[in-house]
């Protein structure tokens, strides 16, 4: 039975957050923003301890808080499973030559001048087709980072283009879970929600593409192609390259389009990668197994098993290529899993003790007109991404909190659902300890705070949504048609 506990004050609710901000600032100062091997996790756990201490002081029992933590972690288990499977997929696809083939052809097609807008558009198409930003980043995103690395392009800008395109589909595709969740929380239907989002999505993506184009044209093209040619030669000597090796990627995209859930689709993709590795890259598989005493068939099994578990390791003699392709495996995702567990622990304690709700109430008390209501909704969703570390919470909680207020003010529910997507979905990948930010950083190999300033689509969406709120443009009343 849950004990009766006191309601926290606003100052008390903000105290664990102040501790977290101070600890995270110390983590960045001491270890850098790209370190996911422990500092940020410790900061989140210590902040959770402070929040739990406040909760116990308010009258909550440790048993209640522990149950809330377990429930919070359970909510993230789907994301954790996908994260581990993506690690396995990356390992097997590198071993099979899928990623090397993408890089090989991409180096010859995507020149520095057109790379950034092309990368964004490609990820837009894939994410709309799959409905998944994670699938997009874990497949074509990995290859695009490889191409950018080989061409000595700004990796933060490259990852920003990839994330922008990946989240275009996460926001707009009817196959996306967040695109279905937001209207459900707001009380509208899916296609009314999607139609209403075009008002903020079109200007955001157009401006983003213009910025990527301008920055791409300003990027200095390599004076000679020695480095790129060396990578192409190393790829050809280390792997069998051919268009047939793109079939596992086509298979995964086709499965997701046919509404196969992401986890089984990615597992099938990873196992297909192993089959392709055995057929087309037996030498690379045997080399990875490093067991000359084993029979040939056993060495092939061991090599594929190792790629799934620990990732691929390349020793081609080209240092840049070796660093790029020595990655993947479920084991390579464990630091990110640790980060997600730590973040969900803090978020669960803050929610259970009522401190998150108290902060949200104080925001709502400052609402006066439509513009401030829209801004409050956007700010709360962004705050949930920072504090609760999960985009689903950033959609569900503000959706519950503001739904009645939107109706009371005569505003159609698609206004709320659009706000939830423009902020909750779009900013989740910009927070290093959020499940989405952690995933993107780990998968793309670029720190969250390195690519965040260049994720123009994600940054612009809440800004344009706020402008519409204050100007009244595209704001639909309850008695109007969508």
Q: Which of 110-124, 228-242, 300-314 has the highest mean pLDDT?
A: 300-314
First to last CA, the chain: 45
Q: State pLDDT tens for residues 248-297.
A: 988 987 887 787 887 888 899 999 999 999 999 998 999 888 888 888 88
For helices 391-408 and 334-352, the axis angle rounded to 10 degrees is 30
* pLDDT higher than threshold 70 for residue 368: yes
Total domain count, the chain: 1
User: Per-residue pLDDT averaged across 62-73, rounded?
Assistant: 91
CB 419 within 8 A of CB 474: no
> 429 with 458: CB under 8 angstroms?
yes
Quick one: pLDDT at residue 175?
62
In a domain, 427, yes or no: no
In this structure, what are the phi and psi dihedrals at residue 161, rounded to the nearest 5 degrees?
-65, -40
What does pLDDT average to over the chain? 85
Average pLDDT over residues 40-58: 91
Note whether residue 479 is domain-resident.
no
Is 0.85 topped by the overall pTM? no
- Average pLDDT of the residues in 322-329: 80
| CB proximity list for 351: less than 8 A, separation 6 or greater | 68, 72, 357, 388, 393, 397
Residue 98 lies in a domain: yes
Split at pLDDT 50, 70, 90, the class of 322 is: confident
At 426 the pLDDT is 95
Q: Say whether 135 sits in a helix, a strand or coil.
A: helix
Is the predicted pLDDT of residue 49 greater than 50, yes or no? yes
Q: Is 170 inside a domain boundary?
A: yes
Domain membership flag for residue 388: no
Domain membership flag for residue 22: no
pLDDT band at 1; cut points 50, 70, 90: very low
Q: Do residues 87 and 329 make contact, with C-beta atoms less than 8 angstroms apart? A: yes
56 located within any domain: no
Q: What is the pLDDT of residues 204-233, one digit of tens each?
A: 999 999 999 999 887 655 545 666 778 788
Angle at 84 between CA 255 and CA 75, to 5 degrees: 90
Tens of pLDDT, residue by residue over 449-471, are 999 999 999 999 999 999 999 99
The boundaries of the domain holding residue 93 are 88-332
**Residue 155 pLDDT greater than 90, yes or no:** yes
Residue 192, pLDDT above cutoff 80: yes
In a domain, 434, yes or no: no
Q: In sequence order, which ranges of 59-154 are alpha helices (DSSP H)?
A: 62-96, 98-109, 112-130, 133-136, 142-150
């Amino acid at each position: 039975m849950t004990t009766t506990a006191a309601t926290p004050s606003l100052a008390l609710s903000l105290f664990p957050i102040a501790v977290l901000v101070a600890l995270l600032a110390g983590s960045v100062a001491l270890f850098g923003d790209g370190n996911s091997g422990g500092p940020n996790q410790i900061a989140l756990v210590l902040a959770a301890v402070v929040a739990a201490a406040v909760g116990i002081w308010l009258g909550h029992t440790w048993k209640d808080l522990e149950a809330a933590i377990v429930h919070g972690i359970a909510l993230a288990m789907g994301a954790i499973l996908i994260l581990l499977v993506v690690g396995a997929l990356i390992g097997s696809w590198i071993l099979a030559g899928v990623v090397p083939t993408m890089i090989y052809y991409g180096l010859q097609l995507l020149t520095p001048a057109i790379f950034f807008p092309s990368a964004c558009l490609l990820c837009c198409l894939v994410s709309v087709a799959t409905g998944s930003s994670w699938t997009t980043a874990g497949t074509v995103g990995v290859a695009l980072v490889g191409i950018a690395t080989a061409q000595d392009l700004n990796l933060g800008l490259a990852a920003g283009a990839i994330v922008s395109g990946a989240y275009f589909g996460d926001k707009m595709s009817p196959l996306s879970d967040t695109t279905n969740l937001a209207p459900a929380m707001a009380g509208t239907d899916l296609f009314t929600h999607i139609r209403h989002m075009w008002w903020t999505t079109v200007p955001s993506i157009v401006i983003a593409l213009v910025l990527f184009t301008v920055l791409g044209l300003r990027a200095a093209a390599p004076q000679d192609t020695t480095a790129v040619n060396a990578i192409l030669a190393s790829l050809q000597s280390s792997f069998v390259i051919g268009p047939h090796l793109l079939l596992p990627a086509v298979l995964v995209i086709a499965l997701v389009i046919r509404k196969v859930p992401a986890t089984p689709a990615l597992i099938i993709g990873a196992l297909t990668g192993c089959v392709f590795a055995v057929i087309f890259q037996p030498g690379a598989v045997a080399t990875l197994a490093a067991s000359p005493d084993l029979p040939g068939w056993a060495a092939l099994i061991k090599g594929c098993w190792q790629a799934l578990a620990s990732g691929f390791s390349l020793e081609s003699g080209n240092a840049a290529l070796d660093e790029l392709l020595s990655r993947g495996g479920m084991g390579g995702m464990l630091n990110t899993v640790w980060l997600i567990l730590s973040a969900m622990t803090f978020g669960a304690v803050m929610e259970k003790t009522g401190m998150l709700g108290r902060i949200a109430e104080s925001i709502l008390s400052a609402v006066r007109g439509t513009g401030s209501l829209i801004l409050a909704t956007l700010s709360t969703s962004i705050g949930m991404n920072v504090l609760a570390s999960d985009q689903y919470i950033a959609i569900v909680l503000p959706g519950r909190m503001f739904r009645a207020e939107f109706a009371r003010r005569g505003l159609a529910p698609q206004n709320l659902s659009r706000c939830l997507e423009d902020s909750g979905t779009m900013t989740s990948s910009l927070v290093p300890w959020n499940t989405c930010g952690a995933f993107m950083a780990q998968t793309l190999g670029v720190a969250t705070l390195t690519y965040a300033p260049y994720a123009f689509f994600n940054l612009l969406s809440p800004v344009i949504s706020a402008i519409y709120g204050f100007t009244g443009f595209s704001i639909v009343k309850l008695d109007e048609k969508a």
